[in-house]
C-alpha cells in the first residue's frame, strides 16, 4: 500500500500544506501573508492570526489538488520548530488534532531539515537529480545562515553558522533602512542585476573557522550611504543599482569563501543550497560557476522550493516515518533550534 503523507508548515509567515505519495509530490499549496508588508517585517501576532484563518482552506486545497481524502492519509508531518512560537502552535495543534481524529501517526520535522532535503522532492514526469551522501548544504534564509553536513536523510551536522545576523536579515534590514522595500532580498536582487558590482565594495568580516557574520557589512553599507547622502542628497537614488550590486556581491563572497573552505576541509564536493536566499540569482549563478571551477556537483532547488513550503516538510517527514519515528500527541512546538 502507498505511503501518503500530509505535510504542514507554519513556522513563519507562510501557511503551507503538501501531499506526497511514496516520495512523489501530489500537491503543494502555499498561502503567503500580505498583512506584514506595511510593517517592513513579520509581526508575530499577526502571523499566527493569519495562520488560523488559512490553515483549514490550505489543507483542504492540498488534499483536493492531490485527489486524496483524509481517510487515505498514512501519516501527518508537521514543522515543530524552529520558528515563531505562535505560528508554530497553529500548525502543530492542527496536525495533532487531525492525527487524533484520523487515528494515524504524527511525525515532527525540524524546519531546517526540510530545507536541506528540498532537493529530494520528486515530481512525476520530472527527471530525478539528487545529491549523494554526504553533501554540504548552504542554508541561507531570513533566520539562518549555516553550512550543514548531511550524511543521510536523517543525519546532519551544522559545521558553520552565523554569529549575529542571518544573510537574509542583512538583505531585509538594509533594504528597509534605504527605503527600497520589503522583503529586501528580491528587491536588492532585482536592482543588483542592473548595477556594476565592482564600483562599491564593502568590508568583509574576519571570523575564524566556518562561522559567518553579516552585521558588519550591513553597517558598512548603511554608514557609507549616510555619509554620501550628507554630501549629495540624491546619491542613493542615482546609485542604488550599483550599491545593491556591490552589497550583494560582498554577501555572496562571504558565503562562498566559507563554503569553499568547508568543501576543502571535509573533502565533500556534493553541494546544495536551500532557504529563501537561495532564490538569489547572483548566488545561484556564482555557486554554479564556482562549482565548475572546483569540480563540485551542484544542486539548486527549484525556486518554488527555496522559500518556506510544506513539500519539504512532507518529504523530511516521509523519511522519518520510514525510519519508524512517531511523535506523541503531547508534543509542543519549539522556537529555538537548541530546544529541538
Contact residues toward ligand KG4 (CB under 6 A) are 12, 141-143, 168, 171-172, 183-186, 189, 275-277, 279-280, 307-308
SS3 128: coil
User: Measured from the CB atom, is 60 or 285 closer to ligand KG4?
Assistant: 285
User: Measured from the CB atom, is 268 or 312 closer to ligand KG4?
Assistant: 312
CB of 186 vs ligand KG4, minimal distance in Å: 4
125: left (phi over 0), alpha (psi -120 to 50) or beta: left
User: Measured from the CB atom, is 63 or 90 closer to ligand KG4?
Assistant: 90
User: Measured from the CB atom, is 4 or 140 closer to ligand KG4?
Assistant: 140
CB of 144 vs ligand KG4, minimal distance in Å: 6
CB of 4 vs ligand KG4, minimal distance in Å: 26
Rounded to 5°, angle at Cα 333 from 272 and 303: 30
CB of 44 vs ligand KG4, minimal distance in Å: 12
User: Measured from the CB atom, is 23 or 41 closer to ligand KG4?
Assistant: 41
Residue closest to 156 by CA, chosen among 120, 110, 212: 110
User: Measured from the CB atom, is 189 or 270 closer to ligand KG4?
Assistant: 189
- Tell me how far CA of residue 100 lies from CA of 103, 323, 325, 332, in angstroms: 5, 21, 17, 15
Distance CA 300, CA 272 (A): 6
Distance CA 72, CA 67 (A): 10
Grid cell at residue 183: 522583503
Pairing assessment for the beta strands 270-274 and 24-32 based on DSSP bridges: unpaired
SS3 3: coil
Which position has the grid cell 551536522?
A: 157
Amino acid at each position: 500500500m502507498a505511503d501518503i503523507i500530509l505535510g504542514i508548515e507554519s513556522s513563519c509567515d507562510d501557511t503551507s500544506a503538501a501531499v506526497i505519495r511514496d516520495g512523489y509530490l501530489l500537491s503543494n499549496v502555499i498561502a503567503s501573508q500580505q498583512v506584514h508588508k506595511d510593517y517592513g517585517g513579520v509581526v508575530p501576532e499577526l502571523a499566527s492570526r493569519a495562520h488560523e484563518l488559512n490553515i483549514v482552506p490550505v489543507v483542504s486545497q492540498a488534499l483536493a489538488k492531490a485527489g486524496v481524502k483524509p481517510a487515505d492519509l498514512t501519516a501527518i508531518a508537521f514543522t515543530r520548530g524552529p520558528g515563531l512560537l505562535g505560528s508554530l502552535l497553529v500548525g502543530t495543534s492542527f496536525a495533532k488534532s487531525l492525527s487524533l481524529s484520523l487515528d494515524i501517526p504524527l511525525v515532527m520535522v525540524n524546519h531546517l531539515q526540510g530545507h536541506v532535503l528540498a532537493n529530494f522532492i520528486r515530481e512525476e514526469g520530472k527527471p530525478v537529480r539528487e545529491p549523494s551522501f554526504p553533501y554540504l548544504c548552504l542554508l541561507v534564509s531570513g533566520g539562518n545562515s549555516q553550512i550543514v553536513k548531511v550524511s543521510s536523510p536523517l543525519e546532519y551536522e551544522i559545521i558553520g553558522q552565523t554569529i549575529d545576523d542571518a544573510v537574509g536579515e542583512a538583505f531585509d534590514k538594509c533594504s528597509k533602512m534605504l527605503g527600497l522595500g520589503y522583503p529586501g532580498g528580491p528587491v536588492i536582487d532585482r536592482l543588483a542585476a542592473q548595477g556594476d558590482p565592482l564600483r562599491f565594495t564593502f568590508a568583509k568580516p574576519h571570523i575564524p573557522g566556518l562561522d559567518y557574520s553579516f552585521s558588519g557589512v550591513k553597517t558598512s553599507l548603511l554608514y557609507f550611504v549616510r555619509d554620501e547622502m550628507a554630501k549629495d542628497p540624491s546619491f542613493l537614488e542615482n546609485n542604488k543599482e550599483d550599491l545593491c550590486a556591490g552589497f550583494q556581491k560582498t554577501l555572496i563572497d562571504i558565503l562562498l569563501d566559507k563554503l569553499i573552505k568547508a568543501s576543502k576541509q571535509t573533502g565533500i564536493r556534493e553541494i546544495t543550497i536551500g532557504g529563501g536566499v537561495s532564490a538569489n540569482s547572483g548566488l545561484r549563478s556564482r555557486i554554479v560557476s564556482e562549482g565548475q571551477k572546483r569540480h563540485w556537483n551542484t544542486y539548486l532547488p527549484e525556486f518554488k522550493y527555496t522559500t518556506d513550503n510544506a513539500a519539504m516538510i512532507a518529504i523530511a517527514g516521509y523519511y522519518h516515518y520510514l525510519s519508524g519515528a512517531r511523535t506523541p500527541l503531547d508534543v509542543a512546538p519549539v522556537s529555538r533550534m537548541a530546544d529541538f
